[in-house]
Amino acid sequence: MKLKMTAVLSATAIGALLLSACGSTNEASSSPSSSASGSAEASTSAEPAGSSQAADTVGGKLAILTGNVGGKTPEGNEKFAKALGDKLGMDVTLDKPASDYDQKVLTALGSGAKYDLIEVSDLAKLNTFIDQGVVTDLTDFVKQSSVLSDPSVIPSAEWDQLKGEDGKIYGVFSKFQGATMPIVRKDWLNKLNLQEPKTLDELYNVLKAFKENDPDGNGKADTYGLSTSGLYDIQGIMSAAGLKYRYVMKDGKRTIPYASDAAIPMYEWFAKLVKEGIMDPNFVTNDTAKMRNLFLADRVGMITYWDAWVGMFNSLKQQENPNTTFDAEGMASIPGPDGTILMRRGDPDFWIIPKNAPHPDAAKKFLEFWQSQDGITLGSLGVEGYDYTVDNGTYTLTDVGKQANMDHGVPYWYNSSVKSPFPPLPGVEDAMALSKQYATLEVSLSTWPDAEKIVTNYALKAMSGQMPAKDAVAQMQKELKAANLIDE
Amino acid sequence: MKILKKHGLFYLLMLPVAIYFVLFSYYPLVKGLQTSFQDYKLMGARPYVGFTNYGTVWHDPTFWDAFRNTLIIGGGILIAGFLAPLIVALSLNEVLNRPFKKAAQLILYIPHLLSWVVVGGVCIFLLSPDTGFVNLLLVKLFGIQPINFLAEDSWARGIMIGSAVWKDMGYNCILFLAGIVAINPSLYEAARMDGATRWQQMRYVTLPQLANTMKVIFLLNTLGILRIFDQIFVMRNSAIASKVDVLMMYTFQKGIMEIRLGPAAAASFYVVLFTLVLTFAVRKMTRFDEV
């Protein structure tokens, strides 16, 4: 009797285990649809698309893996995928991992998961993907597309960014990417009767005043002049010595200006800021979110970040308090000795079609749609009725839409014939005008990731005053040469 | 066959667990070994390249820097992480106030339940040079300049070791306490009758009787020292990377950041190999087989 009981219980347990296993298998295989209808944090399934042969008709399904495009919440993402599907007439799966996007992309590609489109934000990664045989050549498609080949939709020269070494086009832009720059509290400048700095000495004086003259008026010495996130985008200041980030090719030889002797006085300048308490001492450990929060919390007068964020900062503060005096302003880099202003053009965000995409034609239809009025409206404003409403041609953002700041992956776009129904966020137009005037792309060779570790390590040591700048640069040069990462 | 018939039900019960390990442990292990011998591309042909990936890793100075960091940080965690909970366990064993003892155990154990994301974030916050509690205390008590603990080479490894020991001290302490509780009380009684003091009881009864528990804990901790990752991933930054980047971080960077999966797989198999060597050495040194 006892044995029978044991057998029954065991069989029940095994049955339950097997059933739960089956259950989880089903859940996994159906995750694309559940992610499309469920979560902005949906995990990548092994077969996000095309597993159902019945629905596997060309143009009928579209699976997208994206880091930026979509809703801001699981609910918003569900509505976004539905709206996109309605516009395209397809069953759209939109997987938008909440974090570790690069790892998710690699895992998806390495595991053989099938997506029709993957969003990428790194040109070095594009080159790696080309080497790894991952991406589809889109040259003919782009040239034959009446939408994409139209220079008013995407300026012809821009396509050079998305070409491989073989001259073929491997991606299509998902938005217009601006540049990084020093962003300064204009209201603090006005309050302290200071002018926007044009030289390194003027910049020092401004930052010192931000530190010492109580610009937030709370009677406490609790503000910093400058904060950064490590070496992130200090280009605006290094410009003062004519130093461009990453590689610069000189007569066919690889050089890294940040590791040259000309960088020594710049690192000494930063070390002086740190020593005098003018620079946020956490700059080494800051991530960009911490840096942004410090700026929004009135703790720092200047940071170095994207032009688009000038508008975002002002908008966020105005939403918080319509009477705020907060006024962020994008600033041109400090001119170099010859008057040249160096600014960093960011790597673009773009779509690739993986070679194993089950529905490449659907993906191409999307790529053209994404540059159209409807696509840009969806990518910027979001979903009608959820993020915004239209009444007699008048657009109004809902509370959800206001929080999204008109950014569902496309805050700015190339297509000059598409105008936003809303005025631009405060300050952003001026910032972008600077980007367009001065920003240039950087040379990113395949050896840069290894070189970057050495440069960043010693640059941060020099900037934080742990090591004399001269020694730090000498050590940088020694290690870069030993590892064959620079030629001179 | 006879055994299978007799114990068939139990083998059947083991089946789901066995399938789980085959699918999620052994299959990836074999797949990883295969990858380490391939010029692995995300798509398309993946030709076999013999030991090229192993050679690439072997001749990479960054790998050996990471190896050195792993030995220093892992070794520090192994030794300090063994002694600290042992001392605490022996001390707690002497505490007669039961509620205090339980409360102390609970407080010590809580950090073990937290993920490194939380513990790392707390450490970064506590050690911040301007608003961190540690620096505020140092400035207040000793009037010294704030120290940027997580940006200075000289502090980096110590912070990693200290935080890891603090996080897992409660767990190891409970294992030691369990070992202490299992000691035959008559040994203490005999010692007391012979006039042994508390210290002598600890020295001549508790510690020798705890030897086997100590061996097991030391060996288990040894198995993990080359696989440190989460903590470093959360707490590292570019300024201290050269001092704290460990072998698993090297593997992660090669595989995920640089998408060089062949060398990454080869590096991870070096870790397996080194762990095996280390484990056998520790077994030999501690005479583990005599447990």
Q: How many CA atoms lie within 13 A of B113 on its CB side?
A: 5
Report pLDDT for A43: 34
What is the signed CA dihedral for B145, B151, B154, B159, rounded to 10 degrees?
Answer: 100
A34 versus A410: the higher-pLDDT residue is A410
- What's the predicted TM-score (pTM) here? 0.80
Compute the distance between CA of residue A75 and CA of residue A73 in angstroms, rounded to an integer: 5
Number of structural domains found in chain B = 1
DSSP structure class, residue B256: I
Pick from B11, B139, B237, B238 the residue to mutate for testing the A interface (most A CBs within 10 Å): B238
The pLDDT value given to residue A44 = 32
Q: What is the pLDDT of residue A444?
A: 73
Average pLDDT, chain A: 86
Quote the pLDDT of residue A9: 43
In a domain, B211, yes or no: yes
Domains A33-177+348-415 and A179-345+431-482 in one fold: yes
* Cross-chain residue pair B41–A133, CB shorter than 8 Å: yes
Closest by Cβ to A285, choosing from B41, B237, B256: B237
CA atoms within 13 A on the CB side of A414: 26
The H-assigned helical ranges of A192-278 are 200-212, 235-238, 264-275
Could you list the residue range(s) of the whole structural domain that residue B55 is in?
32-290
pLDDT at A337 over 80: yes
Say if residues A361 and A58 touch (Cβ distance below 8 Å).
Answer: yes
Interface membership of B230 toward A (CB under 8 Å): no
Residue A127 has pLDDT above 50, yes or no: yes
| A138 Cα to chain B: minimum distance (Å) | 17
Give, for A253, the enclosing helix (H) or strand (E): strand A253-255
| DSSP code of residue B187 | H
Residue whose pair of structure tokens reads 């003062």 in the numeric block: A240
Q: What is the CATH number of the domain that holds B94?
A: 1.10.3720.10
CATH topology of domain A33-177+348-415: D-Maltodextrin-Binding Protein; domain 2 (3.40.190)
**DSSP state letter for B258:** S
Does A21 contact B16 at a Cβ distance shorter than 8 Å?
yes
DSSP state of A312: H
Q: What pLDDT is stored for residue A395 in this prediction?
A: 93
What does the pLDDT read at residue B290? 67
Among A284, A447, A481, the strongest candidate for a mutation testing the B interface, having the largest count of B CBs within 10 A, is A284
Answer for the pair A333, A453: CB distance below 8 angstroms, yes or no: no
Is A179-345+431-482 a domain of CATH 3.40.190.10?
yes
Chain B residues inside the 8 Å CB shell of A102: 256-257
Residue A18 has pLDDT above 70, yes or no: no
Residue A27 CA to residue A35 CA, distance in Å, equals 11
Residue-wise pLDDT for A291-324, tens only, equals: 999 999 999 999 999 998 999 999 999 988 999 9
**pLDDT > 70 in chain A, percent:** 88
Considering CB atoms only, which of A134, A280, A457 is closest to B241? A457
Residue with the bigger pLDDT between A32 and B151: it is: B151
Nearest CA in chain B to A101: B256
* B243 within a domain of the structure (yes/no): yes
DSSP for A155-167 reads: -GGGGGGGB-TTS
- Chain A contact set for B153 (CB, 8 A): 461, 466
CA distance B289 to chain A (A): 36
Q: What is the pLDDT of residues A139-160, one digit of tens each?
A: 999 999 999 999 999 999 899 9
Q: Is B176 within the bounds of a domain? A: yes
Taking phi first (over 0 means left), then psi (-120 to 50 degrees means alpha), and beta for anything else, what does residue A100 get?
left
Q: DSSP readout, A51-101?
A: --GGG--TTTEEEEE-SSSS-SSHHHHHHHHHHHHHHHTSEEEEE--SS-H
Please check whether residue B163 lies inside any domain of the structure: yes
Per domain, the residue ranges of chain A are 33-177+348-415, 179-345+431-482
Taking only the tens place, the pLDDT of each residue in B31-81 is: 999 999 999 988 888 999 999 999 999 999 899 999 999 999 999 999 999
pLDDT band, residue A369 (cuts 50/70/90): very high
Evaluate if residue A6 carries a pLDDT over 70: no
* Token pair 């959820």 in the structure block, residue: A386
At residue A298, the pLDDT reads: 95
Q: Does the pLDDT at position A19 exceed 60? A: no
Tokens of A370: 């994404």
Question: B241 contacts in A (CB within 8 Å)?
Answer: 453, 456-457
Asked if the C-beta of B121 comes within 8 angstroms of chain A's C-beta atoms, the answer is no
Question: Does a structural domain hold residue B38?
Answer: yes
Contact indicator for A227, A182 with CB cutoff of 8 Å: no
Residue B256 forms contact with A (CB below 8 Å): yes
Residues of chain B with pLDDT under 70: 288-291
C-alpha span between B83 and A84 (Å, rounded):
60
pLDDT band at A111 (very low <50, low <70, confident <90, very high): confident
